[in-house]
Amino acid sequence: MTIPRIFEAPKKSFFLLGPRGVGKSTYLRIAFPNAYVINLLAEDIYQRLLANPGLLSAELRAVPGDRWVVLDEIQRLPALLNEVHRFIEEKGLRFVLCGSSARKLKRAGVNLLAGRALYRAMHPFISEELGEQFVLDDALQHGLLPIVWDSEDRAETLTAYTQMYLKEEIQAEALVRNLPGFARFLPIAALFHGQTLNVTNIAREAQVARTTVTGYLDILEETLLCFQLPAYETRLRVRERKLPKWYWCDPGIVRAMKKVTTSPTPEERGALFEGLIAQLIRSYKDYRNLCDEYFYWATAAQTQTEVDFLLKRAGEFVAIEVKSGGTFSEAWCKGLRALSDLKGLCRRIVVYPEGPELQTVDGIEILPFSQFSNLLATDALWP
């Protein structure tokens, strides 16, 4: 059974980017059933257009002006964007430019299409899309990639996914010179999920040069598996941490990179649950404009007073702390209380896996995951 996505396609040409296995092609088949499709993953099509990109123009001239054109895996041949640009201008064709990597596109001058093609992202499933099928423990163990969720053996599919990523995304596109070294780096990068991004520490753990690690991290971001969360500077008269935090887009991928398939340990659950919330916020930001920007906040002192997420919209802030424990503790509110003097702060929330909805005497809301995700689904996060 196909699970409906909350992603809504624009009415004009757009790039649709997202990691492999996120369901882009499936979505496009349903949303654009009459589109003219050119799939660059098909080797014969790829080789033909690689040898002569101009051949695309002959195909596009035969496409009616009111018909969509889907160019799948566009990052394999960025040179085709010249023809895309021309046919948007001259014939008014509308394109979906679908891909799993922004790396080659950025380096090939996608700015040629600035203003003519929008940017859109597709993410792993979110709880709203899965409805009653969503089970938090399953999501933390196996993740929410559609290619994994639909599998009869999710652990096996996750293992195969990491191999596919190395073969089809990294090796085939020649993104690194030292593939074994990159493969050794991946489990180390997975260990830093939900942590401050300190390249020096990662380089030491991975036993590679700092510049090499910087390049590897860029690849993970540009192939859309990972993202950074910047630190927010409040100027509240305390020294604040400035390095960004690092997240993978899916808990299943994190665990697959670490070669772990068993149920998450209590030590793992904290980072996995925080990462799930990070990805949920990111998805709603892209799909429904949940916020203008999002950050984390932390002091530089060793006491490590921190707030996991600080969402900003039109000058107002919502502060969110994530805890994986099962019983509320006042200690959970330490960071939120330290941030209470922030100008524009309109709501403070602690999210935990499950339990009763509570409120402290100073107005901090304690919400189970189901209630928090419902706030996002119904656009009720902002007062």
Q: pLDDT tens digit string along 291-331? A: 999 999 998 765 678 999 999 999 999 999 999 999 999 99
Inter-residue contact 366 to 352 (CB < 8 Å): yes
- Same CATH topology for 127-275 and 279-377? no
Average pLDDT of the chain is 90
- Calculate the alpha carbon distances from 290 to 313, 314, 330 in Å: 8, 11, 28
For residue 111, report the phi and psi dihedrals to the nearest 5 degrees. Answer: -60, -15
pLDDT at 171 exceeding the cut of 80: no
Cβ of 162: how many Cβ atoms within 10 Å?
17
pLDDT level of residue 172 (50, 70, 90 thresholds): low
CATH class entry, domain 127-275:
mainly alpha
The pLDDT of residue 177: 74
The pLDDT of residue 235: 65
Would you identify the CATH topology of the domain 279-377? Trna Endonuclease; Chain: A, domain 1 (3.40.1350)
Percent of the chain with pLDDT over 90: 70
Inter-residue contact 246 to 216 (CB < 8 Å): no
CA distance 369 to 279: 13
Domain ranges of the chain: 14-121, 127-275, 279-377
- Both tokens of 70, joined, read 């889907």
Would you identify the CATH topology of the domain 14-121? Rossmann fold (3.40.50)
The pLDDT of residue 117: 81
| Average pLDDT, integer, range 96-118 | 73
Q: Which amino acid makes up residue 312?
A: K
pLDDT level of residue 179 (50, 70, 90 thresholds): confident
Cβ of 308: how many Cβ atoms within 10 Å?
24
The pLDDT of residue 108: 58
Helix (H, G, I), strand (E, B) or coil at 17: strand
For residue 140, report the phi and psi dihedrals to the nearest 5 degrees. Answer: -70, -30
